[in-house]
Structure 1
Amino acid sequence: MEFEPGRVFLLRAPEGVDLLDFVNGFAEKNGIKTAIVKGIGSLRNPVVGYYSEEIKAYKRIELFGTFELLTLLGNVSIKDGKPFAHLHVTLGNANGNVFGGHLMKGEVFVAELYVQELVGEPLVRKERGNNLSLWDEEPL
């Protein structure tokens, strides 16, 4: 799919909110249907996921404490008629250990976000089997 660049937002998420809920709410409030999301900051007690092909579900990895949000990268598209943020994170702890995966939950301590709206026919996620909601494949 081809898109034109739309609005660009630089914003800070409030302390104490769930980052995933915040991005979804921001997109809905601002009428954003498709976007690129990037960010840095720190999260408390994040939960990340790793998709297991064997069990066809995400394995939850719960982390305890405050983690540096080294990178956040993802997108917004439409799922079940509403904006849906699909975000991946790289997180670091006080010992320099790094963890990463699909963001499932994370309380914001600090989060600075870049949201680049993409204008065009919105990408829509649909159940494709294996408990995954994916976009249509681009024809070759």
Structure 2
Amino acid sequence: MDYRVFGNQIVLRIDRGEEVMETIVKLCEKEKINLGSIVGLGAADHLVMGLYDVEKQEFSEIKLDKPLEITSIVGNITEMDGKPYLHVHINASDAEGHTYGGHLKAVRISGTSEIFITVIDGHVGREKDSITNTGLNLFKFD
């Protein structure tokens, strides 16, 4: 990992063998980021993503272990229990052009990943949904 800060923008390079979610959390802890948005792309060789079933209140999980082109990473950074909380989705395609997408749990970089983080001056937390009981961690505004 290497990165540079330009005002409220962070340009992040994630290197071969590094895991994207872990790397972004480490960066958030180091730079004390508790609110922001994430966009990126890259190449991967291991992907774990899911789909949340609101009725069952659980994630299904899909694991892919093959070369993938990450066509889009998009998400946000908030805070829950005093720690960075990432909510990130991913789209990726394989050599045959099959496209996969869902809630990102983990992705290991095979080449490089280029991530842009916009840091927002403010605070938004997360709390378990007590309004409609979806089981999701919803935005909590101060």
Calculate the TM-score normalised by the size of structure 1: 0.88
Aligned residues: 131
5+ long unaligned stretches in structure 2: 1-6
List per-residue Cα deviations over 1:15-61 (Å, max 9, x = no partner): 21111111111111101110110001012210111011232111111
Higher normalized contact order (CA 8 Å, seq sep 6+, divided by chain length)? 1
User: Distance between the aligned counterparts of 1:15 and 1:79, measured in 2?
Assistant: 29
1:136 to 122, 128, 140: 140
Query: In structure 1, what is the equivalent of residue 42 of structure 2?
Result: 41
In the TM superposition, residue 118 of structure 1 has moved relative to its aligned partner by 0.2
Whichever residue aligns with residue 111 of structure 1, its letter is S
SS across alignment from 2:28: helix
Calculate the TM-score normalised by the size of structure 2: 0.87
Query: In structure 2, what is the equivalent of residue 55 of structure 1?
Result: 56
5+ long unaligned stretches in structure 1: 1-5
| Contact preservation (8 Å) 2:55, 2:134 | no
Query: In structure 1, what is the equivalent of residue 3 of structure 2?
Result: none
| Contact preservation (8 Å) 2:9, 2:119 | yes
Runs of 4+ in 1 over 3 A off after TM superposition: none
SS across alignment from 2:8: strand
| Contact preservation (8 Å) 2:46, 2:109 | no
SS across alignment from 1:119: coil
Query: In structure 2, what is the equivalent of residue 111 of structure 1?
Result: 113
Identity percentage of aligned residues = 27
CA RMSD, 1 decimal: 1.3
User: Distance between the aligned counterparts of 2:134 and 2:65, measured in 1?
Assistant: 29
In the TM superposition, residue 72 of structure 1 has moved relative to its aligned partner by 0.4
